[in-house]
Structure 1
């Protein structure tokens, strides 16, 4: 997360050197979601999103941070892609987007199951009402802070002093972070977040390699109330003393060292090189392999562990040393390892079998479940990222298809016009000059050898497939002036599009079933120009929807009462019709959007065509 001054944010009046936190990467989004869902921040968090089109923040952030310099956390998300990732990482209906803001209390996580229980979401923020909404946000934050009984400490308080804590390990949030229940924790939750990265523990170590559920955790808290150190961590030299030369141990791969060589760690904080044929191609960073300790020495104050491959399949795999006094083995054996593999029936083999992810004390069901839960936000963000990429590619494909189709229609029109002119010249007994389309140089129009058909047009290989498959498309398109009444004209264009695009066997099951709502034609005339590509595309989109093929339109989705993801969808109470919104254009400024009602009987009522940021009253 980047900490920036408020004067660098759009639409923000600067009155002091106030700082906010701007999220700029997907991992920061996941960390934000994790802290909100666990209450680890200890204070209320105000998340503000920027308007998608302008990337501007409407709320007066400096006014809010002046009011609460220490008691809240203020986070800004400017990138709409990160906003979508945030929505995927959070509980349903619990996130703002497109200029909206939301408060997340830390003392009460009831919003996770009932996102509409309190007045926490603020939408529809504009330049005209930004000051008023900012005041409402400040008032609501005061109420939440009072409910949490959080008071700003005096400047000379001893909160900066490092103090000890004692708690109980409550489970992993991710491979490198965990929760600790402690009465010494600041705030009302009594929960500390343990972060191995902040403690600068070796990156090969996970929380499951340090603690089991219910283990006592001791250490010190820093000035900001976070865990600053842990008691009982062992030095590498003490762990190395437990290694048996000639014994086989699990080791984690730290990277490729050379041809048929990888770096490994038997003990965190040390480094060894494993040489084994082809291992640089079969083992990746983070994989666990089995090695044999060949020697242990100390040189220039550094512990050196020489390791080699395990060539004897019956060798017993020993437990890795513990990183913490009384803790579990810091590393489990590789998947599929079986301790004394050659004596499966012996008692010794059963007692000394290598710990596997399913049986190791450091990877019991509860801790495994916690690790899996910790991966959920990342997987959700990945899903939403892929969905966004699919939507983008689908929009691009639709645009290309539209452009190709319009180009072919224009080609057909010109081709037909050219053929008509040739026929008229031929009927008048005039010869066509060489170089005219469809006529070889030096030949006449009629009866010329080397041409194809009565029209004299040459066959085109790339065009032939289209003519064979879509012969009806060569029909001349409507000029737009066949009818004087706009509704009759558009209805005929819809009928013609339906006749062309819906296969004959499907027409009986997908008839046109629609009507124009009051004001629809006026909105078309106001919003869409007669010569624009959106006007040529409009009948096709209307025909797909009227025939029940909504899935063939671009970004078809429910129309909601507000711009936030948690806003309820619009339903017309008089007849139960549901409102929908469809993209007429994509990747263009002021793109047009179609709005319509879908009635319970399956029929459609077209409501209006509006610009992207104009939301009609439905």
Structure 2
């Protein structure tokens, strides 16, 4: 457990600021503050210290005059006070990029629980980024071979023979990969158990990328994760960093879309999981996105641990996305307390409240000399108070009036406090709704970008069925589809240099297209456009080759009596009975579409 250093004077506050802004520290620093008016923080600083161990230094700072001295020494926006907490990573990048050191707020006990877990997650993630996990531990670790019991709240719980299960922290396993993409309940794992932190380190059991990606082959459609995206290029991660460096593949605009004017930032988002086709395997991996069809099967992503779940999934993460309800009303504030009715003692000599001095400790000091007094008469008249008694009565009346005014002021202040508390709850409610809407909008944006990426890569746009033109002649309809693909995928500036040449539709082509199931006519027209314009042989996914008399490589190439040579191109890849298109190339270079068929059908 890390010691909790208390900051409670100007010297300690200045020393903490100098530590954060200096160059001497090698570990992250966690700063937890105590809100004004409290003696303890909402954040569980002891739990943070237990989780920190030797990975970070922990400081506790009450909110006081020295807090402002600390703030004055810190860069704008990097301060922490008022009950919040913050982790400062190693280095100084956090001073200019506030996202590197997020502020965790806590206004009540529930906030404190959430902020505690977020600070622990920030601290562990920053410790891993600083390379502290690679250092040789000074304490003895025990090797364990056990089973994952459950996965919850960013932790995997495993049985190590103790009363309480040990934890596998996702921040200390693989950077930017959630724990449920690393392990799952029932998975057998090996690791090193640290009794001090009650954690199990599984990093040495993680698979190397060479082993994990060995099953990928050219033509496979696989999942990748967007790491960076610019106008003309993007970086996709095939496998994250484990015991070996990550496999990151750079794709250019031409690998994603046929339109050279497209900005890739409108087609993909950092962190998005997208399918891509492998065009070259390691060590020089290459990917393409422009020819991936919706109906193509996707090869499952490799697991990070033997027998574990795939590290990537195409399913969107809805764990923190709920459908937001329309904000039609806000919670009503609690009723204000009933004002205290003060019954003042009647007195003919009561002075007006405005003329009464405000109370002070001196006024309540009994040892303070009072007004001049005279001895009482031996036989005072019962109906006439002495001068001393009259003065005391006046003072009592004044204090009574002052107390009544103060009680009214207390009631007003209580009402204001309740109103402020309600306003804060309303703001928290609005913030929660805004975060939900933002999360949903972000998922909608990713989904829209995925549809846009597919539309631009294939040259098709989604439109409701039945809205397009209709033809009585099937041949005219197919020619229209081919013409549409040419006009969509070829820029007006390029159409003169890449015209859609005249082509022939063979006598069996339309009949085979109507009988063949599992592929849309638009897809066939798209590939036909590529064949007629000479684009198909340039695309690896089309697998253009001569059509032979049989499946053997020694079988003769089909040649017609008029000298036309038979060719074959792929409409689909890596699917059962993948569809193919057969066509003739005449001696004049003209294309004649012959048939569409399955992979094992070599007729023409």
Q: Normalised by the shorter chain, which TM-score bucket? A: 0.3 to 0.5
Larger radius of gyration: 2
Q: TM-score, normalised by structure 1?
A: 0.35
TM-score normalized with structure 2 length: 0.36
- Of structures 1 and 2, the one scoring higher in RCO (CA 8 A, sep 6+) is 1
